[in-house]
A and B are shown apart, each in its own frame.
Chain A
Amino acid sequence: MAANNKYENNSIDVKGMIAKNKQSKSLSSITEKLIPVVLFLFAIITVFTTVGIVFTLLSETIEFFKRIPIWDFFTGTVLKPMSQNPEFGVLPLLNGTIISSAIAMLVAGPIGLMAAIYLSEYASDRVRRVLKPMLEILAGIPTIVYGFFAFTFVTPLIRSFWPDVAATNILSPGIVMGIMIIPMIASLSEDAMSSVPKAMREGALGLGATKLETTFKVVIPAALSGIIASFVLGISRAIGETMIVTIASGSSKNFTFDITQSMQTMTAYIVEVSGGEAAAGTTIYYSLYAVAMTLFVFTLLMNLLARYVSRKFREEY
């Protein structure tokens, strides 16, 4: 800052003031120019994250495919990473992932959609204001808690009336995963249905349709893109879900369609292998990345599909 000589000789030092002003201006103009650069560097970190994910997954996956042919990986039905003659077929894991996600969607799809219909079409404002936040609590519970619930409550419950079910099985985590996804589907579908204009409902009701008929013949078709998008996001969530299946479905790598038995999903495999003693450089270690890459591509495709559906087929009113 300039020296404090404003009132020297009882006259105003205009030159000094101008200099001071210029100096502080140039300082602030530096800040003005510097801030956007710093903020841009912050923003670019998110891009680096994506690049980091894709790069690490890709480079180690390529290393894996140098050792195990890509064809054997995607068509192999035997997964024995720890044995003397290890085999790395991903199909048992894909199978486990698809079956657990399918069970989850069989639970979450209908129940979530019905809840959405109730909240959007039938519930009064007051009821909705009570029920919706309570459903959101369900969405906020950590998945590890659901895993505990599946393992210590739902599995024993199922086994009490269906003794064939094993202590670790794919059915119980599938159901619990579905319960976890209900709020997501209910909330997203409800948003889609609430945004259908009132005039359309009134048209149907005026023609003598009941509320149920209005819902199924007018509201749901109009909100279909949003509803489908919510289902696809639900599937993506189920595919990426880790702790529930890791805890409650065990680590059997059998290629089976028997839902009463233990199966391993892609996510559970990653937990098992990375938590174990897979030293860097071994084939098991690289298989971690190949499985993670498969998982990443699957969920990315699902998310892109969801966005495509909700954009492309959105009905504008």
Chain B
Amino acid sequence: MKYLNVEQVTKRMNGRIAKNNISKALFFLATLFGLIVLAILIYRVVVDSIGWIDWNFLTGRQSTDAERAGIMGALLGTLWMMLVVAPVTLILGIGTAIYLELYAKKGRLQSIIQTNISNLAGVPSIVYGILGLTIFVRAMEMGNIILAGGLTLSLLILPIVIVAAQEAIRAVPGFLSEASYGMGATKWQTIKNVILPAALPGMLTGAILALSRAIGETAPLTVIGIPALIIPFPEGIFDKFTALPMQIYYWTIDSSLVAEYANLAAGTIIVLLVLLFVLNSTAIFIRNKFQQRF
């Protein structure tokens, strides 16, 4: 009597192996799917914008005439806004991270703040827009100026900056600060001279990545009310403004009226993506160049 029917087992085995191989191919295709869409997306945007990105487009003023329209105003608006977002989030984000990691006693208050930060990270960006509209634009009577938009986006990315800064502080090994204390340094001296310099590359990397998220954010800006057409360039943080993503938004929804607006939107997307690429490359460069491994 045979316990094993070899023929049948082999047959079943072959089937199972075939199933495994087919699934493997399927899983691989699923992984490629996203990348293929990415390639199509970039291809489409490049093709749509060919012939439209020229000197006039990059430096010109806004216009309803597609041939003459330029994005300098939107580009300046975005850059001015980042001049608000970057210092505000860096100071508040790093300060909060230092407090939570190095000063706060483990307890109720610290855990409330920490839980609150991770909840804030999940709030949809458009809700921040409503907060900005209510507090900055209306209650503080700023109107829809660069400062209001910048502060709104600052609140939006603050949780990301804080978490990145906390991780950077945690990655600084304990013996560094112990050596500093051993030399008689006070707590703040230790933080200022030892922990912060060691954690700064990690903090900056996280902050730049968060900044690139802020640059592409559109929803909060639509809520605080950015007009479709602003001819003068912004000259300071108290000016009314438009930004690159807002420009893409208006040109995209109006492309059913004027077909060329789709090309302008594609051109603006290229500029936005190049900006994001530069920012992300900077972040990766800082991480690789300055991050010490202990």
Chain A interface residues toward B at CB < 8 A = 28, 31-32, 35-36, 38-40, 42-47, 49-50, 52-53, 56-57, 60, 110-111, 114-115, 117-119, 122-123, 131, 134-135, 137-138, 140-149, 151-153, 167, 179, 182-183, 186, 210-213, 233, 236, 239-243, 246-247, 267, 270-271, 274-275, 280, 288-289, 292, 295-296, 299-300, 302-304, 307
Contacts and interface: CB of A to CB of B under 8 A. Distances in A.
Interface of B: 16-17, 19-20, 23-24, 26-28, 30-31, 33-35, 37-38, 40-41, 44-45, 48, 91-92, 95-96, 98-100, 103-104, 112-113, 116-120, 122-131, 133-135, 138, 155, 158-159, 162, 186-189, 212-213, 215-219, 222-225, 245, 248-249, 252-253, 255-256, 262, 265-266, 269, 272-273, 276, 280
B20 A211 contact: yes
Contact of B92 (A45, A56, A111, A115): A45
Given A135-B31, A142-B245, A144-B249, A296 B123 contact: yes
Contacts of A242: 124-126, 218-219, 222
Interface of B is mostly: helix
A145 B130 contact: no
B126 A56 contact: no
A252 B248 CA distance: 22
A118 B245 contact: no
Contact of A148 (B33, B112, B118, B265): B265
A134 B38 contact: yes
A111 B30 CA distance: 5
Most chain A beta carbons < 10 A, residue from B31, B213, B249:
B31
A143 B113 contact: no
29 contacts: A36-B99, A39-B96, A43-B95, A46-B96, A46-B120, A47-B116, A49-B158, A52-B135, A53-B123, A57-B127, A118-B28, A123-B31, A131-B35, A144-B245, A148-B248, A148-B252, A152-B252, A153-B40, A186-B31, A210-B16, A210-B17, A212-B23, A242-B126, A242-B222, A270-B223, A271-B126, A274-B129, A292-B126, A295-B124
B38 A295 contact: no
Given A52-B131, A56-B130, A247-B249, A300 B98 contact: no
Given A115-B27, A141-B41, A242-B125, 15 more contacts: A36-B103, A53-B128, A111-B30, A114-B31, A117-B27, A145-B41, A145-B272, A147-B249, A153-B41, A179-B37, A183-B34, A210-B19, A274-B222, A296-B124, A304-B119
Contacts of B280: 140
A299 B265 contact: no
B273 A40 contact: no
